[in-house]
Amino acid sequence: MNQPGRGAQDQKEGAREPFPLHIAIIMDGNGRWAQQRGLPRIEGHRAGVAAAREIVRACREWGVPVLSLYTFSIENWKRPKSETLALMKLFEEFIHRELQELISNGIQLRAIGRIEGLPRSTQQRLKEAVERTQANRGMILNLALNYGGRSEIVDAVKSILAEVKQGRMREEELDEESFARFLYTANLPDPDLLVRTGGEMRVSNFLLYQLAYAEFWSTPTFWPDFRPGDLKEAISAYRKRERRFGMTGEQRRGARLRGSPMKMAPLLPPRAAQGREDAY
């Protein structure tokens, strides 16, 4: 498998960061891309879907275990109703057209966010795709839909309070590890690399808890123009950085030389989502 930025010599010497297990992308710039070309904003979103297709294929080819795409935020409902309705239809078309390819390539589709707040037709299309790909183990494509990082944390706290109230959990059992099991991303590794297109330098309420130690890479390229070559550049930059996680550089390099690879979490549904029909 030809992974970008990975060479046999630097792997042997432990001189570079390992290949990222989880890449998260804030796909920004669709509207500005369309406006620059005198096109309706929805055409920018259509071009963005095509870019997403290329990136998903590249990540599958490179062996990226998890790819998370910030598809539609809770705040996006503030946009004109005509645009949000068009976006939902566009998303449904994407799922319908790409489902067979996801199945054929062993890609498991997941969705995080307040899924119950999406239009019923979108929920149904999404639920079908999630169910039909749930046995796939080649890669996880994780779509953030009607998502907000603060809302995710609030929902996790509510779930924990319910567990405590019903006697299924004690307060003293709560720590960072147990809290993470109640997030939408439970049983997924935290993102190693966050990519944002469109030139902005903010996280926009995306994966606020999970991005604590992620490396951030931003590009002025609008999302519709973002290609696998750009992602290769981001991965190469990531692998040249030194992630210390509170340790000294010497300690971190020593740990890499000794070989302590992170293991990908099992592909299981989040604890907080079990029993909820609207949680995928």
Residues with a known catalytic role: 28, 76
**What one-character-per-residue DSSP string does 74-130 give?**
GGGGGS-HHHHHHHHHHHHHHHHHHHHHHHHTTEEEEEES-GGGS-HHHHHHHHHHH
- List, in sequence order, the alpha helices (H) in the chain: 8-13, 30-36, 41-62, 81-104, 120-133, 149-165, 176-180, 228-240, 249-258
Spatial distance between the Cα atoms of 68 and 228, rounded to a whole number of angstroms = 15
Half-sphere exposure of 116 (CA within 13 A, CB side): 5
Distance CA 168, CA 166 (A): 6
252 contacts: CB under 8 Å, gap ≥ 6: 242, 243, 244, 245
For residue 83, give both structure tokens.
């645009």
Distance of CA 248 to the CA centre of its chain: 29
Whose tokens are 């049983």? That residue is 187
Say what angle helices 120-133 and 81-104 make with each other, to 10 degrees. Answer: 20
Q: Is the dihedral of CA 90, 147, 33, 222 positive or negative?
A: negative
